[in-house]
Amino acid sequence: MKRALVTGGQSGIGAACIERFKAEGIETISLDLHKDADLAVDVSDSAAVSKAIAAAGPIDILVNCAGVVGPTTPLWEIEAADWDKTFAVNVRGTFNTCHAVIPGMIERKWGRIVNISSVAGKEGNPNLSAYSASKAAVLGLTKSLGKELAQKGVVVNAITPGVIATPMNKDTSEQLLEYMISRIPMGRTGTAVEVAALIYWLSSDQCTFSTGSVFDISGGRTTY
């Protein structure tokens, strides 16, 4: 039986991934700040992540869903601490979990990693420069890592969701949400279940010749 670790697994896309994986017979472990997570850990804490994952045992599939929107204000009004926190969760968190699980995947000659980026990482959203920049960094990390692991049996890909109806967007201003939805040709937000379906395929034995790639799921907003 394959074992999957899903960060941010207590809500939104992460929770939908866990539900889908379990339905497919995959043993799934959640890593989240929430007290009910299997591993109640701050993903940005390198030492805590390393210790928790080592104790959890072998991980075959890693899905990095944990993330924060960060400040929703023009760049010149952002506090440095808020910028750093956004990168700590969205980028260093992804680095921390990858760093912890990859040696075991290489040893077993099989692994799947899916990193959650965003259309903001491709296009940039106004008043979301910290989030946009951090998600662009996740894309760069994914492309580099995919090449590093290409001959080791470990496949690494990223997805770029558009606006998805999740708790992560609950604090996003109505004006900003309307702006983002107005750019979606399908004219609606996506669902976490739709995203989980793509993640499941990228985590499966059927995904064998795509690595270091970026898969769009944005209702047609970005087609590159």
The per-residue pLDDT for 175 is 78
The per-residue pLDDT for 63 is 98
Q: Other CB atoms closer than 10 Å to residue 109's CB: what's the count?
A: 9
The per-residue pLDDT for 181 is 83
The token pair that represents 31 in the structure block: 């890593």
Give the residue extent of every domain in the chain: 3-217
Q: Shortest CA distance to 60 belongs to which of 113, 8, 15? A: 113
152: burial class by Cβ within 10 Å (0-12, 13-18, 19+)?
Answer: middle
The per-residue pLDDT for 79 is 98
User: What parts of the chain have a pLDDT lower than 70?
Assistant: 168-172
Give me the active site residues, please: 131
User: Do residues 18 and 9 make contact, with C-beta atoms less than 8 angstroms apart?
Assistant: yes
CATH architecture of 3-217: 3-Layer(aba) Sandwich (3.40)
The helix or strand, by DSSP H or E, that contains position 52, with its residue range, turns out to be helix 46-56
DSSP line for 114-141: EEE--HHHHH--TT-HHHHHHHHHHHHH
Q: Other CB atoms closer than 10 Å to residue 66's CB: what's the count?
A: 28
Beta strand 213-217 with 154-161 is: parallel
- Whole-prediction pTM value? 0.94
In sign, the C-alpha dihedral spanning 62, 63, 67, 69 is positive
The per-residue pLDDT for 146 is 98
